[in-house]
Amino acid sequence: MKPALLSGLTPGNVVDKLDALFAAIAGTSYLGEPITIAEHMLQSAACAKRDGADDALIAAALLHDVGYYVDPAPDNENETDLRKRHDLAAARILAPVLPAGVTEPIRLHVDAKRYLCAVEPAYYDKLSDASKHTMRLQGGVMDGDQAEAFAGEPYCEDAVRLRRWDDEGKAPDTVVPGFQAYRVMLATLSRGHAASA
């Protein structure tokens, strides 16, 4: 059973609600991967931080899979529905409280996988079995026109970086900082976004 849906996010409660979500999913398996989904997102964020990403992109890496808790459905069936697919659901629910530098790479990270498979043929072989399975549900490898359109997206490069951290952040027994390490950063991003709205 999945935790309660993320809903009612405001600049004043977004950090606490995300903190509660990470606590609730601490033991939740991640679609056949060898780690939990919380561990996966925390590892992805740690990879982004290690590589010198800015705060918005670190936050994107940290939150890229929270969309699974917006419109939950069993067995990934939402991944075939563009209204509910986890990348789009996360971007939609986070956009009112976090800047585009966070939400746009999240929105594009699934398509970045499809794009990389199109432009780097060897990339597909590096994907985990679970990622290969979800990619089939999410539309498969992009064709040439789709890849060209994706390359023109303003956040294409950030989405590709996020995608590579997404792939890397699946290592069992890797210890990284917990959600608490990102609370101040997320609060600052949310306040800045609210001030610029």
Of 185, 174, 197, 150, give the one whose Cα is nearest residue 42. 174
Residue 197 half-sphere exposure toward CB, CA atoms < 13 A: 14
Within-domain flag for 38:
yes
Of 60, 24, 48, give the one whose Cα is nearest residue 186. 60
Within-domain flag for 94:
yes
Within-domain flag for 4:
no
CATH number of the domain that residue 51 is part of: 1.10.3210.10
CB 94 within 8 A of CB 106: yes
Cα separation, 45 vs 55, whole angstroms? 10
Tokens of 145: 């026109």
Within-domain flag for 54:
yes
Within-domain flag for 7:
no
Along the 197 residues of the chain, how does pLDDT read in single tens digits? 455 567 889 999 999 999 999 998 888 777 777 788 899 999 999 999 999 999 999 999 999 999 888 866 544 455 555 566 788 889 999 999 999 999 999 999 999 999 999 999 899 998 888 888 878 888 889 999 999 999 999 999 999 999 999 999 988 889 999 999 999 999 999 999 999 97
Within-domain flag for 19:
yes
Residue with tokens 């609370």: 183
| Structural domain count of the chain | 1
Within-domain flag for 180:
yes
178: containing domain:
14-189
Entry pTM: 0.90
Within-domain flag for 1:
no
Phi, psi of 60 (to 5 degrees): -60, -45
Of 28, 27, 36, give the one whose Cα is nearest residue 172. 36
Cα separation, 45 vs 176, whole angstroms? 9
